[in-house]
């Protein structure tokens, strides 16, 4: 029964719930709460998937005729029969493999992304047009200006973060719009949105194509941009940010960086025109995020762990 409940929860968390959330409009107007909810769903889905496999494999420790768990493989084989014993062992091995693949993917994405950023950072520092920056000025110390006509506006997160702009962007923006773009990119750097996106990229790459969905990653990327837009709007005003976004809509960025423009520009500009506090929706989203993690743990995981502890105690 525990495995069934965890299985149903896993299917819901990787299928209909993310699909419904990705189609909803309210997350754009409570982006911080929606980001928290997305992270809660992703974490709960991973934990539920592992719990499903472990709950099925725990049948290998079920009590034998004398009431004690049969932790001897030969006794388990005779008690369960070859079919059930093989099925439980297979589920346990698959669970371990999924966990190993997930950890490997997280490490691979982290190492690959940081190596790419470090190489790009070194190149940017070499070709930076230093005459555009005042040496020793803290407000421009992280800025790098590229003397190219192609529109570029992005940030490179990390311990030595950079905000990169090109001459092609500088010629399009006035001073206030330039301030909005810089504040947008610095908001990404302060909030470390790159770490959140890395986690979702790792989850996306860890699972086969017929299982994974692009909706979660795309929705979280849009929310990260919305949060950065809000910070830029506080530093300037929504109208200025909207005009800057339109001017930089075709701005590009290398892989591993976070660009101010992109295909979501129109959605974000429309959002800035109707940006009002949604405290009720945000509070509801925070409660849902907590419930998705806490309620299944209390209702399902604790009884299962209690039973497993009892079995191991009598071993």
Q: Is 165 within a domain? A: yes
Tokens, residue 51:
């719990």
Confidence bin at 136 (pLDDT 50/70/90): very low
Ramachandran area for residue 143 (φ above 0: left; ψ -120 to 50: alpha; else beta): beta
CB 216 within 8 A of CB 232: no
- In this structure, what token pair is assigned to residue 36? 């928290």
Mean pLDDT computed over 93-103: 85
Please write the tens of the pLDDT for every residue from 199-214.
888 888 877 665 666 6
pLDDT band for position 163 (50/70/90)?
very high
**Residue 223 domain flag:** yes
Confidence at residue 227, expressed as pLDDT on a 0 to 100 scale: 94
Looking at residue 135, what is its pLDDT?
A: 44
Residues 13-58 pLDDT 10s: 887 888 889 888 899 989 999 999 999 988 888 888 887 777 777 7
How far is Cα 131 from Cα 50, in angstroms, rounded to an integer?
55
Mean per-residue pLDDT for 107-133?
84
Q: Is residue 237 included in any domain, yes or no? A: yes
Query: Which has more pLDDT, 89 or 153?
Result: 153
For 246-290, what is each residue's pLDDT tens digit?
A: 988 888 788 777 888 778 888 999 998 876 777 888 999 999 999
Considering only 146-155, 214-223, 265-274, 301-310, which range has the smallest mean pLDDT? 301-310
* Domains of the chain: total: 1
Q: Which residues contact 74 (CB under 8 A, 6 or more apart)?
A: none
Q: Can you spell out the DSSP letters for 116-173? A: HHHHHHHHHHHH--GGGS-TT-GGGTTEEEE--SS-BEEEE-STT-EEEEEHHHHTT-
Residue-number span of the structural domain to which 217 is assigned:
137-276
Q: Out of 79-88, 139-148, 282-291, pick the least confident.
A: 79-88
Q: Which residues pair with 63 in a beta bridge?
A: 69
Residue 172 included in any domain: yes
Tell whether the model's pLDDT for residue 67 goes beyond 70: no
pLDDT recorded at residue 222: 92
- Structural element, H or E, at residue 155: strand 153-156
The pLDDT tens digits for 282-296 are 999 999 999 888 877
- Cα separation, 41 vs 53, in Å, equals 18
Question: What share of the chain has pLDDT > 90, as a percent?
Answer: 26
User: Once rounded to an integer, what is the mean pLDDT over residues 182-193?
Assistant: 93
The answer as to whether 12 is a domain residue is no
If residue 196 lies in a helix (H) or strand (E), which one and from where to where? helix 193-206
pLDDT of residue 99: 84
In a domain, 57, yes or no: no
Q: Is residue 313 part of a domain?
A: no
81 falls within a domain = no
Q: Which of 2, 7, 102 is nearest to 59 (CA)?
A: 2
Highest mean pLDDT among 5-14, 214-223, 306-315: 214-223
Q: What is the dihedral of CA 118, 120, 121, 123, to 10 degrees?
A: 130
Q: What angle do CA 233, 235, 237 make, to 5 degrees?
A: 40
Count the Cβ atoms, other than its own, within 10 Å of residue 177.
23
Confidence of residue 142 (pLDDT cuts 50, 70, 90): confident
How does the average pLDDT of the chain come out, rounded? 82
Task: Report the candidate in 159, 224, 161 with the shortest Cα–Cα distance to residue 196.
Answer: 224
Question: Cβ–Cβ contacts within 10 Å for residue 284, how many?
Answer: 15
The pLDDT score that the predictor gives to residue 141 is 78
Tell whether the model's pLDDT for residue 128 goes beyond 60.
yes
The arithmetic mean of pLDDT across residues 190-205, rounded, is 88
């Amino acid at each position: 029964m525990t495995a069934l409940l965890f299985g149903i929860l896993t299917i819901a968390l990787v299928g209909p719930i993310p699909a419904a959330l990705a189609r909803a409009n309210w997350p754009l107007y409570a982006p911080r709460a929606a980001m928290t909810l997305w992270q809660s769903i992703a974490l709960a889905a991973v934990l539920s998937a592992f719990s499903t496999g472990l709950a099925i494999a725990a049948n290998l420790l079920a009590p034998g005729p004398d009431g004690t768990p049969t932790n001897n493989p030969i006794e388990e084989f005779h008690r369960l029969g070859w079919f059930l014993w093989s099925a439980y062992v297979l589920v346990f091995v698959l669970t371990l493999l999924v966990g190993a693949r997930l950890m490997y993917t997280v490490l691979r994405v982290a190492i690959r992304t940081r190596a790419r950023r470090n190489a790009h950072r070194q190149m940017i520092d070499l070709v930076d047009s230093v005459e555009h920056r005042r040496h020793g000025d803290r407000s421009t110390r992280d800025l790098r200006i590229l003397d190219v006509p192609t529109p570029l506006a992005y940030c490179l997160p990390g311990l030595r973060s950079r905000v990169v702009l090109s001459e092609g962007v500088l010629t399009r923006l006035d001073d206030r719009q330039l301030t909005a773009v810089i504040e947008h990119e610095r908001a990404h750097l302060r909030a470390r949105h790159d770490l959140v996106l890395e986690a979702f990229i790792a989850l996306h790459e860890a699972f086969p194509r017929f299982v994974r969905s692009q909706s979660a990653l795309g929705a979280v990327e849009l929310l990260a941009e919305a949060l950065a837009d809000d910070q830029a709007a506080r530093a300037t005003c929504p109208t200025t940010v909207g005009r800057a976004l339109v001017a930089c809509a075709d701005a590009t960025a290398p892989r591993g960086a976070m660009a101010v423009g992109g295909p979501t520009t129109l959605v974000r500009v429309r959002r800035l025109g109707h940006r009002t506090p949604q405290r009720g929706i945000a509070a509801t989203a925070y409660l849902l995020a907590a419930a998705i993690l806490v309620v299944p743990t209390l209702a399902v995981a604790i009884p299962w762990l209690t039973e497993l502890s009892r079995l191991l105690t009598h071993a």
